[in-house]
Amino acid sequence: MRPTGSTMKRLPSHPARTQPGGTNMKRYLCTPLRMITLTLGLALLLGTSGHAGEVMHFELAGEPLIQYQAAPLENARGGKRFSGSNFIHPLKTPSGFSVTHSQPLDHWHHFGLWWPWKYVKQGERQVLFWELQRQQGIIEATGAVRTADGFTAESVYIDRNADGGPQEWIREEVHATISDLVDAPAHGYHLDLAITQHVLGDAPLEIVRYRYSGFTLRGAQKWNRGNSSVLTSEGLDYAHSQGTRARWILVQGANDSGGTSGILMMSHPKNQNHPEHLRTWDPSTLNGAIFVNFNPVQEASFMIEPDTPHTRKYRVFVFDGDLSAHCAESLWDDYLSVASL
């Protein structure tokens, strides 16, 4: 990430190679090429869903590209019960198409790209942190600061009904790194997230087994069963992905300009229970609305111990154009090479 105002030249794509005998063969170009830099800023502004609040935002040509909700939503759809925070929306492609949908009418507690645990348990007390309308637990962002190539944010998991008043259970840090734009294998950029959680207190916490929990995408409002597709690293489509394991999952579909846009979600190889299980909806649900969840506790719970931080990492590639399975695998290999350092 370079300082605002710096100039970068667009790098040319590699030409098609000429094969023996003079035949031109089209080849997939799956190596990212650096192009231009995003600008960063922290401001109070009106969110795309009509929500006002403090957000960390990143711009391309003066237009918001990424927004992190760094404080509880004001005027949330559904009222104060749904004042979520610690999520990313919108998450846009370079053309300005948002691959995320926040607070859809069918699920007001869905927030674009977000990563809450469903249930957390301390001793015999179990608290629900996913469905905010139940008013058991809530995850509240406490602020975000700009870094050279992204941002760092903090939030807390709060048991709202603890004896003696609300009690903080987990302190979470999110470190986000945003790449420059690339023009191969598609016009897009990478967003890396490292999510580290610290137990607040002397007792260990159980991240409770459930069919959905963790790193999740609610896909673009425009996408449905007729204009979008899902593919996992194991070659499975949306209809057959539920409950399977995957290293990556590719979602792409129609955008507002008559073309295609998408997001490739990648799970770090050192994540809990990697390759993680997927929670995905049946294509018949809500006409094929996109819900994709990397879930390390679909099969079994795990513990987070005091004084032993727990970290999970993900990379997403947000792009315009079509992305092949071959190039998705190549992008995974790139992530794997970085992860092994």
Q: Are 231 and 185 in contact (CB under 8 A)?
A: no
Confidence of residue 60 (pLDDT cuts 50, 70, 90): confident
Residue 5, pLDDT score: 31
Average pLDDT of 224-242? Answer: 99
All structural domains of the chain, each given as residue ranges with its CATH number in brackets, are 38-339 (2.70.98)
Confidence of residue 339 (pLDDT cuts 50, 70, 90): confident
Average pLDDT, the chain: 87
> Residue 305: pLDDT above 50?
yes
Confidence of residue 32 (pLDDT cuts 50, 70, 90): low
Min mean pLDDT across 6-15, 56-65, 285-294 is at: 6-15
Neighbours of 264 (CB within 10 A): 26
pLDDT digits (tens, 9 = 90+) for 174-183: 999 999 999 9
Question: 107 versus 3: which is more confidently predicted?
Answer: 107
DSSP state of 294: E
Distance CA 208, CA 16 (A): 51
Name the amino acid, one letter, at 25: M
Average pLDDT of 65-69? Answer: 96
Percent of the chain with pLDDT over 70: 84
Residue 25, pLDDT score: 28
pLDDT digits (tens, 9 = 90+) for 310-322: 999 999 999 999 9
Confidence of residue 40 (pLDDT cuts 50, 70, 90): low
Residue 338, pLDDT score: 84
> Residue 236: pLDDT above 50?
yes
- Strand segments, DSSP code E, in 77-232 are 88-91, 113-114, 119-122, 125-128, 137-147, 150-159, 167-178, 187-199, 205-207, 215-218, 228-232
> Residue 340: pLDDT above 80?
no
End-to-end Cα spacing for the chain? 20
Min mean pLDDT across 48-57, 92-101, 238-247, 276-285 is at: 48-57
Average pLDDT of 62-83? Answer: 93
Residue 221, pLDDT score: 98
Residue 151, pLDDT score: 95
Question: 107 versus 51: which is more confidently predicted?
Answer: 107
- Cβ-based neighbours of 24, under 8 Å, separated by 6 or more: 16, 17, 18
Residue 29, pLDDT score: 65
Question: 24 versus 80: which is more confidently predicted?
Answer: 80
pLDDT digits (tens, 9 = 90+) for 155-167: 999 999 999 999 9
Q: What share of the chain is helix, strand, coil (3-state, %, to 5)?
A: 10, 45, 45
Residue 15, pLDDT score: 28
pLDDT digits (tens, 9 = 90+) for 261-276: 999 999 999 999 999 9
